[in-house]
A and B are shown apart, each in its own frame.
Chain A
């Protein structure tokens, strides 16, 4: 609560994001009955899942990821490299965002409300699987956001390819079935944004598919070593002095 005004501003900002997310789909569903194979009420569960994942990312990772490229750009990473803990662990989790945690509670409430209002009753294990896969989605979000920031080791710029990530991340907010051809392949493999929320939503909104579950787990398992590999290569390129 050191920066109280900012604390409240951020809550308002996140609420605005939630409102826009729902309003966007409300407008879309004024012009169609189905989107990516989902009805309006199914889309609400999907949006609620997306907001929940976003609030987890904002609470746990977002602040830390924001500072990372600046640490590299200014040479401040040295300070963390000398600590007797894993540098990556430390810079990724050192700052917990309390205001976003307030939003996490709100997102969780929206999530519960969406599930409670769904016309087809869901079993507890379906909800649990969805929730766990959303947490998995949040981890994937973090991994790929960092991978987009890692180029700062080579370019020395203050933001890396972070701005591009902010555009790509909008693909999470849409059902995966709207993507076709190579775009679909891209968003389900190399840049697995559709895996983060849309695939988990499919598991509870449609007939349970073991193949979809395996796809999510496989992509997560492959992403982790790739992330560590790029980090280690980046560290080798790190020049320490301010860029």
Chain B
């Protein structure tokens, strides 16, 4: 039980941080969900209307709302903590404090990152509940609870993978003076190649095939499909396994970069 105490302390601390500025939090969160869905719906409504069709790429307009609603929250969960979660410590010279912490910086940062991810999954759960009790029946309310729970796990797994990719770029802070743009680049690329902006089924066949060999679809499309109940157990297990393999690969790269970087670290900040 003692080993569980520190993660619980970190979780409670991070939740308090997330809710520190409540008005900001609610305006940004609610606004983000509503407008993201409206923007995407408007786009596809115009396309459906012009082409005079009711279904494209296996999606009708209701499916699209469901898709983008889930995509917003999965993408938010994936993004986790703000840019600079590791590089700030390097720039400020505050990595030093982890010498006296009873946990490694990697464990600490991983937990804090997942707290943000879990928090966004809770929002999806709130929407799920609201829909289930008040807007029934919609495609969202027909999703079994098991899919939701498996979706949360898939989302946390994909967030961990994105965290790992982020860690590598954040570690470049040991050499580079500012890595903000690199993280933005990673976010933009993941959103585009992962399927947050457009479902991947709309991409050309060749692009879909190429993307299977990158980590991006597993970070975004996989959890979305699970939340939409568009999966079977083989697909689920296969994707979880692929995420784990990617995670391991990035972890090895991160270890290498981190070890090299530590030799450059002066501890006084820049």
Contacts and interface: CB of A to CB of B under 8 A. Distances in A.
Interface of A: 3-6, 9-10, 12-13, 16-17, 20, 23-24, 27-28, 30-36, 151, 155-161, 163-164, 167-168, 170-171, 174, 177-180, 183
Interface in B143-192: 175-182, 184-185, 188-189, 192
Q: Is the interface of B mostly helix, strand, loop or mixed?
A: helix
**Most chain A CB within a 10 A radius of its CB, from B36, B180, B181:** B181
Contact of A32 (B31, B35, B42, B47): B47
Interface string B39-59: 100110111001100001100
Contacts of A23: 192
Interface string B172-214: 0001111111101100110010000110001110000000000
B181 A6 contact: yes
Interface of B: 20-21, 23-24, 27-28, 31-32, 35-36, 38-39, 42-43, 45-47, 50-51, 56-57, 175-182, 184-185, 188-189, 192, 197-198, 202-204
Nearest to B200: A27
Contact of B56 (A24, A31, A34, A151): A31
B102 to A, nearest CB: 29
A190 to B, nearest CB: 13
A164 B56 CA distance: 30
Contact of B188 (A20, A160, A171, A178): A20
B47 A16 contact: no
B188 A6 contact: no
B156 to A, nearest CB: 22
Contacts of A32: 47, 50-51
